[in-house]
Structures are given as C-alpha cells and as structure tokens.
Amino acid sequence: MFTLNARCSASDSGDFMLVTFAGCGALGSLLASRFIDAGHDVQVFQRPGAQFDALAANGITIEADGQRSAFPLAAVSSDAAKLAPSRLIIVLVKAYSTAEIEGARDVLSPDGIALTLQNGLGPADVLAGVFGDERSAAGITTIGSYTITPGVTGLGGWGDTVIGPWQAGTDISWIAEAFEDSGIPVELEDDPRPAIWRKLAINAMVNPLTALTGLRVGEARDRPALIDMMQRLGREAVTAAQRAGVKLDFDSIWEQNSRNLVRTAANKTSMLQDIEAGRKTEIDAISGSVLNYAESGIDFPYTRTIYSLLKSIDDSRGH
C-alpha cells in the first residue's frame, strides 16, 4: 500500500538534503515521491520531452490504491548548470544513455555520491568513469512502477532494494538511512556486484517476455509456457554469472523472482513500456550482457532467440 507517512520519521531526524534524480521516469518518480514526502527536496535532471514538460508544470503525480497524490519538485532542468549542488544523485536514465550523466558532473558536491539503480551490468562502470570510484555507488531495486501519462506514475508493487559502494570501504550508510527514512527498505552490502547480477538474471527472465507478449507481470506469471521459458532464461543467466566469477544459485534467484511476480503483479516492466512507447529497449544491457559470456555462436540459445527478436523490433524502429 502506498502511504504518505514517511515524513514523520524523517522530520524527527531533521537531516534533510537536496536529492537529484538523473532520469525521472516511472521508477524515478516513485522513489522521488518518497523522498519528497519524507521532507527532502528533489531536483530533476531530465531530457526534454513530454515527461520533462509534465514534471516542470505539475511535479510528480503518483497513483496508488485508486488515489492520486502530487509531489512538488524543487527544479526540473535539462541543463545541469541550472541545478544546485547536491550530495546525492540517483541515476535512473536508460542504460544506453548513462554517458549523458557526464553533464551533471558539477552537480555532485565534493562529499557526494552518485548512485545508479539502472538495469544491466555496465552503468556503474560508466558512472565511476565520470565521478570516480570513490564517489560512485550501485544497486538494484525490484520495485514496480509504470507510466500512466507523462508525469503520472502508477505503483506496480513494492520489491527489494540493495545498494553498495563501488569502491570497497566507502561509507554510504547515510544513503541507506535516507532511503529507510523515506519509507524505502534497503539492504546495504559491502559489494553491490553480486546483487546486480541477481537483478540481471531476474530482468533477463521477465522483461523480454513481457515485452514480446504485451503482458503485465501477473499475467505472465499465470502462463505455464512463460514460466518454463523464464526458468530456461534464468539458468542461462546464472551460467553467465558463473563465467564472470559471480556465484549465483538458480533456486534462490527463482524464489526471489517468484516473490516479485506476486508483489509486482500489476506492473508493466520497463521493457514493455519501452515497446508500447516506441522507445529503444534495454535488451543490450540485459540479454546482451548475458550473451557477452557465451562461449560460442550457439551457446545460450534461449537468450539468443529472445535477444534477436527484440533487437529486430528496435532495428525496425530505427533505434
């Protein structure tokens, strides 16, 4: 249930800050609304377009449990020079657009951290190249959200959030506290890389199949043929992780995915939303990352088939 009661606990601490969201689509809007409700100010670094116009005019609107709530933004700009210095930048642009975050280099304060919660394996390395390992952090979230209209986001269901420093030993406990105070439960890990691989395996199982079938998460869950395909895709992703030196347990991954399929049943995956909106998908960052660890041209046949189908859709649209 989406409740607006985080402000009380955060207000008691009085530890407010200016948080910058780089990319404020559905997930960014949902997370930003929690920070705003807890008393933090939020500014948005957003590319021009319908979402930019809606955020600039009306702020963020969240629809949950049949009700809509509005959340004002401190600033919305496509020009980072017009944004104020910020101790925390949360990066949620599409994986293939991560390099564009370089424009916000000067927004991050000297003691600040840029945190990516994007899909795929590559964004954290790009972020570290812009801000430095010591000022970068990475993580994952399985919270579900979807765009209803520009500026209006639906809650698809709550999930798990894990974050960790990109450079071992960097203290980002204050970020975890800010998430918790904002009503977003978070697990803080010393190294976020295994969690990123776990999320990649889940994405690889679910996102492409919903994009190809047009089904919401709960609808896909109810189809045995898709469950079978999810498991095949998941096993290939686990094998890829092992080849990358990250040990994952398929049964554990599948248990987590099964919980997510229930908790986010109403959600449209980001890849399905991309297909519906005619945008480029993140198939390269997700299934493409798995295929990077294939040992031959016929290795990972299920992932390869899914990848080829979605790449063909992207190509046909000129992406």
* Contacts with 69 (C-beta within 8 Å, 6 or more apart), sequence order: 2, 4, 33, 61, 62
Q: What is the pLDDT of residues 136-150, one digit of tens each?
A: 999 999 999 999 999
Q: Rounded to an integer, what distance in angstroms lies between the CA atom of residue 61 and that of residue 83?
A: 22
Q: Are 45 and 93 in contact (CB under 8 A)?
A: no
Q: Are 137 and 164 in contact (CB under 8 A)?
A: yes
Please tell me what DSSP assigns to residue 295.
Answer: S
Q: Rounded to an integer, what distance in angstroms lies between the CA atom of residue 144 and that of residue 128?
A: 26
Q: 195-313: CATH homologous superfamily? A: N-(1-d-carboxylethyl)-l-norvaline Dehydrogenase; domain 2 (1.10.1040.10)
Q: What is the pTM of this model?
A: 0.89
Q: Where in the chain is the domain with CATH 1.10.1040.10?
A: 195-313
Q: What is the pLDDT of residues 232-268, one digit of tens each?
A: 999 999 999 999 999 999 999 999 999 999 999 999 9
List residues bridging with 153 in a β-sheet.
62, 147
Q: Where in the chain is the domain with CATH 3.40.50.720?
A: 6-190
Residue 6 above 60 pLDDT? Answer: no
User: In which residue are the tokens 């979402």 written?
Assistant: 51
Kindly report the CATH number that applies to the domain delimited by 6-190: 3.40.50.720
